[in-house]
C-alpha cells in the first residue's frame, strides 16, 4: 500500500485538494484511485456531466428517500439504518465512495432554510439517528460524511457568519450530536462547515478539527471541507483540515509547498493528511458494483419510511378515512408534490407518486380541485371557490397545503413561519364548507397553523421523498400507521422561539443568547404552550403503559440506569409508540432546561401484544459541561426521570439520587436562561462581547454582496450571475437559491469555482482595486519574485 511519506512533497500536497468537483485526487502510477463523493443525505446526487454544489445540474436517477426531517420523525433507529443501507447499496451501484451526509446541525430556529435536511432540535435524538444512518451506509462498505461540523444552523451569511456560542451550550447542544456519531458510528469522514465559531473558521480551527474531534473523541477518519469552505490552505492543514473540496485546481499548492520549505508548516501535517486521503482511497470501493439499483424495492422502502415519519398532529376520529366515502382532494400539491428540498441534497428520483394518482389507484371516488396556484402566494378566488364547491359535495375533504419550494431551500432562510396566504385562506374556506376536513401538511420545517382547531384531523406528512404521495394515501386510508412523533417543536408564534431576536444575526456575527434554551428546552422551561410540542404524535391504535421501574434508585456519576416498562397495544390495529425519557435535574447546582431528552424507545406492536421496553439512560445524561474544569460533571442529589409521550405529556416519574458528584455551582453562577443583556451574555461567554469582524478592507473572504456597492464589485456580481445561468422556466425556489448563493459567495470562490482560470494573484488585484488601491492592485500583477521583493503598502 502506498504510504504518504514515500511520495514527493508536491504529490502529497496535491492529494489534499480534490481532483475536480466530486473526486479526490488519484495517483494512477502507484495505483491510488480517486474516490467519488456524492450528496446527499436522503439519496444520491451523482452528476454525470455538469457539476455544482447547489443542485442546478441534472444527476443520475437514484431513490429519493424522505429527507432527514421526515426520517427523524420516525424516532426509529432501525428504519434509519435500513434507509442508510439502501443508500449504501445505491452508492455501490453508482460507484460512490463517500455519501455526503447525514446533515446533523441542530434546528436552532425553524426559519433555517435547510431544516428539512437536518434531523432534530435535540442533540440526543440527532446523534442517535445519525449514528444509525451512518452505520447503515457504512455497513455497505461506503463512507458517510456527517456534516456540517459545527454550528451551521442557518443559511444566511453562511460563508462569513461567526457563531458566538458559550462553551457550555456548544458542548451540551451543538457538539454533542457530533460527539455521539463519532464515538458510536465511527464515520469514515466528517465535513467542516462554512461558518466560523467563536472567531475561528471551522475549516481552520485546530480546536474543533484536532483537539476536540480527534484528541477528545477519537475520530480516526478524514476531515473534508464543505464545498468552498477553505479560506486558508496552510492554516487549514496545520489545524487538521485534511481535504479541501472541491479542487482549487492547484491554485494554492505552491503556498503550501513554500510554507513547508520555509518551516512555517510542519511537513508531518501534510503527510498525515495525505495519508488519510490514501487510507480513504484504499477502503472505498474502486468501481461500481455492477448491480442495478433495486428500484421497486427501494421505492417501497421509501414509501414505508414516509409513512413511519408522518405525524398525526390531531384527529377527531375522522382518520383513517372510510374507504367507501367520496373525497374532495384539494391542493395543487396533490398533483405537483412537494417531496424534497432544493439545493445540494436534491435527488433525481427513480419514480414519483402523487397523492392524486395513488388515491385514484385505490378506486376512491375523488373530485380534485387545485385550490391554489403553487407558483403564487396570493389567493386565487376562483380556485378557492372551486375547492369549496368540491368540499361541500363530498363526504370528506382532504386539503394539501404547506411550503412551496420558494419558501425553503439551501442558500437562504425563511423570512417568517407562516404558510403562503393562499394556503391559509384555502384551509379556512374548506373547513367552513365541510367540517369533515383533513389537512395534510407538506413542508420541511414547522409552520404556524392559525386554523389548527378547525379541521377534524391534521397530518404532518413533511417532505415524503419520491413515494411520499403513496405514503400519504396509505396513512389516510389506514393501511399504514402514521408512525411519527415530532422531532421539533411547532411553536404557537414565532416570538415563542427563544432564538428569534438573534436569528440570523448580522452578516458577520450571530449571537446564541438563548444558550441551551433551544426548541422544547425553552418551551417547557418558560411554560409557553407550543401549537404542537416536541415528541407529540397520535396513533390509530391505543397503548397502555405499565408502571416504570428503574434499575437503581441511587447511582453514582459513572452509572447508567435502565428504565423498564411494559407497553401494550390495547387497540384493534397494529401500531407503533415512542416511549420518551426526560431528565429533570432537581439539584439546582446549575441552570438547566426544565426537561431534557435522555432516552427513548420505539416499539411496534400487533393488536393485543405487549412488550417490556428497556431504556438505558447513560451517565452523560445527568452531566453538565463545566467550562472552568473543562470536563463533564454530575450534580449530586435528586433527579427525576420523566417517562413521557411528548415533551409536555409526562406519564410517570421515577426519582433518583446521584450519590456523588458536585454540589456547588461553577463560578460565576449563570442564572438567566436567556442572556438578553450584553452583560449577561458576556458573563456567560466569560469574555467581553466580540465585535463583528469589519467588512472593510475587503479581502478574499468578502462576499459578493459586501463588495456590491463598488463598481468593480458590481462587475464581479454580473460575471458571477452569468456563470450561473438559470433557465427561464426554473421554479422560484431554485432561482432564489441561485441568486442568494451568488450574492453570498466569498470572492475566493472565483478561484476554486473557475477551476483555476482566475488565479489568486488576479483575485488579489481585483480586491486591491475594490479597496481603492490601484497601485497595490497593479503591483499584484507583477511576476512573483518582483512582487515579493517590494514591501506591501
Ligand atoms: C453543501 C453541502 C454539500 C456540498 C456539495 C454545499 O453547498 O453545504 O452540504 O454536501 O455543497 O454539494
pLDDT in tens, 302-350: 999 999 999 999 999 999 999 899 999 999 999 999 999 988 999 999 9
Q: Could you tell which of 47, 53, 154 is best to mutate to test the pocket of ligand 1, judged by most ligand atoms within 8 Å of the CB?
A: 53
Cα→Cα distances 156→182, 195, 605, Å: 27, 10, 44
In short, whether 53's Cβ falls inside 6 Å of ligand 1 is yes
Q: Name the residue with higher pLDDT: 204 or 734.
A: 204
Distance of CA 178 from the midpoint of ligand 1 (Å): 18
Is residue 226 part of the annotated active site? The answer reads: yes
Report the greatest alpha carbon distance in the chain. 86
Q: Could you tell which of 344, 741, 744 is best to mutate to test the pocket of ligand 1, judged by most ligand atoms within 8 Å of the CB?
A: 344
Q: Cell match 486521503: residue?
A: 277
In short, whether 39's Cβ falls inside 6 Å of ligand 1 is yes
Distance of CA 26 from the midpoint of ligand 1 (Å): 22
pLDDT, tens digit, 9 for 90 and up, residues 77-124: 999 999 999 999 999 999 999 999 999 999 999 999 999 999 999 999
pLDDT, tens digit, 9 for 90 and up, residues 541-564: 999 999 999 999 999 999 999 999
Average pLDDT, the chain: 95
CA nearest to 144, candidates 103, 101, 175: 101
Distance of CA 777 from the midpoint of ligand 1 (Å): 33
Is residue 602 within a helix (H) or strand (E), and if so which, with residue range? strand 596-605
Counting atoms of ligand 1 from 1, which one is nearest the CA of 101? 10
- Rounded to an integer, the average pLDDT of 71-77 is 98
Question: φ, ψ for residue 569 (rounded to 5)?
Answer: -85, 110
In short, whether 481's Cβ falls inside 6 Å of ligand 1 is no
pLDDT, tens digit, 9 for 90 and up, residues 693-748: 999 999 999 999 999 999 888 888 888 777 777 777 777 777 888 888 889 999 99
Separation of alpha carbons 58 and 45, rounded Å: 8
Number of helices and strands in the chain (H, E): 24, 26
Beta strands 510-511 and 326-330 are unpaired
- Rounded to an integer, the average pLDDT of 572-579 is 98
Distance of CA 412 from the midpoint of ligand 1 (Å): 14
Angle (deg, nearest 10), helices 468-476 and 295-309 = 50
Q: Which of 39, 166, 226, 474 is catalytic?
A: 226
pLDDT, tens digit, 9 for 90 and up, residues 460-512: 999 999 999 999 999 999 999 999 999 999 999 999 999 999 999 999 999 99
In short, whether 474's Cβ falls inside 6 Å of ligand 1 is no
Q: Running DSSP on this structure, what letter comes out for residue 227?
A: T
| SS3 of residue 589 by DSSP | coil
In short, whether 100's Cβ falls inside 6 Å of ligand 1 is yes
SS (H, E, C) 104-130: CCCCCCCCCCCHHHECCCCHHHHHHHH
List all residues 6 or more positions away from 435 whose beta carbon is below 8 Å from its beta carbon: 456
Which pLDDT score is estimated for 112?
Answer: 98
Cell (9 digits) for 686? 466569560
Beta strands 610-617 and 575-585 are unpaired
Which pLDDT score is estimated for 785?
Answer: 63
Which pLDDT score is estimated for 58?
Answer: 83
- Rounded to an integer, the average pLDDT of 193-221 is 98
Distance of CA 2 from the midpoint of ligand 1 (Å): 30
In short, whether 159's Cβ falls inside 6 Å of ligand 1 is no
pLDDT, tens digit, 9 for 90 and up, residues 235-265: 999 999 999 999 999 999 999 999 999 999 9
In short, whether 226's Cβ falls inside 6 Å of ligand 1 is yes
Counting atoms of ligand 1 from 1, which one is nearest the CA of 152? 8
Cell (9 digits) for 264? 512555517
Is residue 189 within a helix (H) or strand (E), and if so which, with residue range? strand 189-192
Separation of alpha carbons 213 and 194, rounded Å: 17
State the pLDDT confidence band at 34, using cuts at 50, 70 and 90: very high
Cell (9 digits) for 12? 502529497
Beta strands 649-658 and 554-555 are parallel
Which pLDDT score is estimated for 793?
Answer: 38
List all residues 6 or more positions away from 759 whose beta carbon is below 8 Å from its beta carbon: 251, 751
- Rounded to an integer, the average pLDDT of 586-595 is 97
Cβ atoms 84, 305 nearer than 8 A: no
pLDDT of residue 790 exceeding 60: no
Nearest CA to ligand 1 atom 9: 344
Cβ atoms 370, 414 nearer than 8 A: no
Cα→Cα distances 337→274, 376, 440, 461, 699, Å: 45, 15, 12, 11, 43
pLDDT, tens digit, 9 for 90 and up, residues 642-661: 999 999 999 999 999 999 99
Nearest CA to ligand 1 atom 12: 53
Is residue 280 within a helix (H) or strand (E), and if so which, with residue range? helix 267-283
- Rounded to an integer, the average pLDDT of 166-190 is 98
pLDDT of residue 151 exceeding 60: yes
pLDDT of residue 792 exceeding 50: no
Cα→Cα distances 517→414, 500, 580, 612, 635, Å: 21, 12, 19, 33, 19
Counting atoms of ligand 1 from 1, which one is nearest the CA of 343? 7
CA nearest to 429, candidates 459, 399, 456: 399
Q: How far is CA 350 from the centre of its chain?
A: 23
Q: Running DSSP on this structure, what letter comes out for residue 57?
A: S
List all residues 6 or more positions away from 131 whose beta carbon is below 8 Å from its beta carbon: 77, 180, 181, 184, 185
State the pLDDT confidence band at 786, using cuts at 50, 70 and 90: low
Amino acid at each position: 500500500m502506498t504510504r504518504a511519506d514515500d511520495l514527493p512533497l508536491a504529490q502529497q500536497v496535491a492529494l489534499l485538494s480534490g481532483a475536480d468537483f466530486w473526486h479526490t485526487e488519484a495517483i494512477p502510477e502507484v495505483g491510488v484511485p480517486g474516490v467519488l463523493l456524492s450528496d446527499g443525505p436522503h439519496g444520491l446526487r451523482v452528476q454525470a456531466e455538469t457539476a455544482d454544489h447547489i443542485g442546478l445540474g441534472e444527476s443520475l436517477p437514484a431513490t429519493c428517500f424522505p429527507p432527514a426531517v421526515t426520517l427523524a420523525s420516525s424516532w426509529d433507529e432501525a428504519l434509519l439504518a435500513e434507509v442508510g443501507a439502501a443508500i449504501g447499496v445505491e452508492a455501490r451501484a453508482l460507484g460512490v465512495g463517500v455519501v455526503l451526509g447525514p446533515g446533523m446541525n441542530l434546528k436552532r430556529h425553524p426559519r433555517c432554510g435547510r431544516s428539512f435536511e437536518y434531523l432534530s432540535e435535540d442533540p440526543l435524538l440527532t446523534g442517535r439517528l445519525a449514528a444509525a444512518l451512518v452505520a447503515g451506509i457504512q455497513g455497505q462498505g461506503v463512507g458517510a460524511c456527517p456534516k456540517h461540523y459545527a454550528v451551521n444552523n442557518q443559511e444566511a451569511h453562511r460563508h462569513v457568519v461567526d457563531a458566538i456560542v458559550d462553551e457550555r451550550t456548544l458542548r451540551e447542544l451543538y457538539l454533542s450530536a457530533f460527539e455521539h456519531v463519532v464515538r458510536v458510528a465511527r464515520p469514515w469522514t466528517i465535513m467542516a462547515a462554512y461558518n466560523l465559531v467563536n472567531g475561528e473558521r471551522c475549516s481552520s480551527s485546530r480546536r474543533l478539527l484536532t483537539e476536540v474531534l480527534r484528541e477528545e473523541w477519537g475520530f480516526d477518519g478524514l476531515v473534508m471541507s464543505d464545498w468552498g469552505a477553505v479560506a486558508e490552505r496552510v492554516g487549514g492543514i496545520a489545524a487538521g483540515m485534511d481535504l479541501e473540496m472541491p479542487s482549487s485546481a492547484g491554485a494554492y499548492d505552491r503556498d503550501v509547498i513554500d510554507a513547508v520549505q520555509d518551516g512555517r508548516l510542519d511537513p508531518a501535517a501534510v503527510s498525515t493528511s495525505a495519508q488519510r486521503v490514501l487510507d480513504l482511497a484504499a477502503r472505498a470501493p474502486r468501481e461500481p458494483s455492477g448491480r442495478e439499483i433495486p428500484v421497486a424495492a427501494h421505492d417501497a422502502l421509501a414509501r414505508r419510511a414516509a409513512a413511519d415519519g408522518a405525524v398525526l398532529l390531531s384527529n377527531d376520529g375522522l382518520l383513517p378515512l372510510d374507504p367507501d366515502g367520496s373525497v374532495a382532494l384539494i391542493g395543487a400539491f396533490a398533483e405537483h408534490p412537494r417531496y424534497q428540498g432544493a439545493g445540494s441534497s436534491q435527488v433525481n428520483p427513480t419514480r414519483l407518486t402523487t397523492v392524486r394518482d395513488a388515491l385514484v389507484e385505490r378506486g376512491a371516488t375523488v373530485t380534485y380541485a387545485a385550490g391554489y396556484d403553487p407558483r403564487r402566494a396570493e389567493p386565487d378566488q376562483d380556485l378557492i371557490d372551486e375547492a369549496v364547491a368540491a368540499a361541500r359535495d363530498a363526504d370528506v375533504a382532504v386539503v394539501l397545503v404547506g411550503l412551496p419550494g420558494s419558501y425553503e431551500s439551501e442558500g437562504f432562510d425563511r423570512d417568517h413561519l407562516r404558510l403562503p396566504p393562499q394556503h391559509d385562506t384555502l384551509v379556512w374556506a374548506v373547513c367552513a364548507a365541510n367540517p369533515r376536513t383533513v389537512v395534510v401538511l407538506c413542508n420541511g420545517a414547522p409552520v404556524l397553523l392559525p386554523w389548527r382547531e378547525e379541521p377534524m384531523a391534521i397530518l404532518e406528512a413533511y417532505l415524503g421523498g419520491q413515494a411520499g404521495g403513496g405514503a400519504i394515501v396509505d396513512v389516510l386510508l389506514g393501511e399504514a400507521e402514521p408512525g411519527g412523533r415530532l422531532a421539533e417543536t411547532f411553536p404557537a408564534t414565532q416570538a415563542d422561539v427563544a432564538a428569534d431576536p438573534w436569528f440570523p444575526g448580522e452578516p458577520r456575527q450571530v449571537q446564541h443568547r438563548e444558550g441551551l434554551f433551544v426548541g422544547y428546552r425553552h418551551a417547557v422551561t418558560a411554560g409557553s404552550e407550543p401549537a404542537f410540542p416536541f415528541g407529540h404524535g397520535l396513533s390509530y391504535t391505543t397503548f397502555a403503559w405499565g408502571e416504570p421501574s428503574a434499575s437503581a434508585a441511587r447511582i453514582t456519576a459513572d452509572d447508567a440506569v435502565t428504565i423498564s416498562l411494559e407497553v401494550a397495544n390495547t387497540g384493534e390495529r397494529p401500531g407503533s409508540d415512542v416511549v420518551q425519557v426526560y431528565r429533570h435535574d432537581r439539584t439546582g447546582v446549575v441552570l438547566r432546561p426544565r426537561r431534557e431528552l435522555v432516552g427513548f424507545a420505539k416499539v411496534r406492536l400487533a393488536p393485543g401484544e405487549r412488550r417490556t421496553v428497556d431504556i438505558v439512560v447513560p451517565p452523560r445524561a445527568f452531566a453538565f459541561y463545566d467550562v472552568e474544569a473543562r470536563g463533564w460533571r454530575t450534580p449530586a442529589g435528586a433527579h427525576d426521570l420523566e417517562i413521557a409521550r411528548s415533551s409536555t405529556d409526562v406519564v410517570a416519574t421515577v426519582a433518583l439520587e446521584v450519590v456523588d458528584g458536585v454540589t456547588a455551582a461553577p463560578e460565576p453562577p449563570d442564572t438567566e436562561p436567556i442572556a438578553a443583556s450584553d452583560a449577561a451574555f458576556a458573563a456567560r461567554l466569560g469574555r467581553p462581547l466580540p465585535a463583528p469582524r469589519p467588512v472593510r478592507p475587503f479581502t478574499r473572504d468578502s462576499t459578493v454582496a459586501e463588495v456590491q456597492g463598488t463598481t468593480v464589485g458590481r462587475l464581479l456580481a454580473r460575471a458571477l450571475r452569468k456563470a450561473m445561468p438559470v433557465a427561464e422556466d426554473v421554479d422560484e425556489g431554485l432561482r432564489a437559491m441561485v441568486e442568494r448563493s451568488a450574492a453570498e459567495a466569498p470572492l475566493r470562490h472565483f478561484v476554486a469555482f473557475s477551476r483555476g482560470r482566475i488565479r489568486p494573484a488576479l483575485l488579489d488585484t481585483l480586491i486591491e482595486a475594490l479597496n481603492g488601491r490601484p497601485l497595490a492592485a497593479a503591483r499584484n500583477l507583477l511576476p512573483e519574485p518582483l512582487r515579493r521583493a517590494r514591501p506591501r503598502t
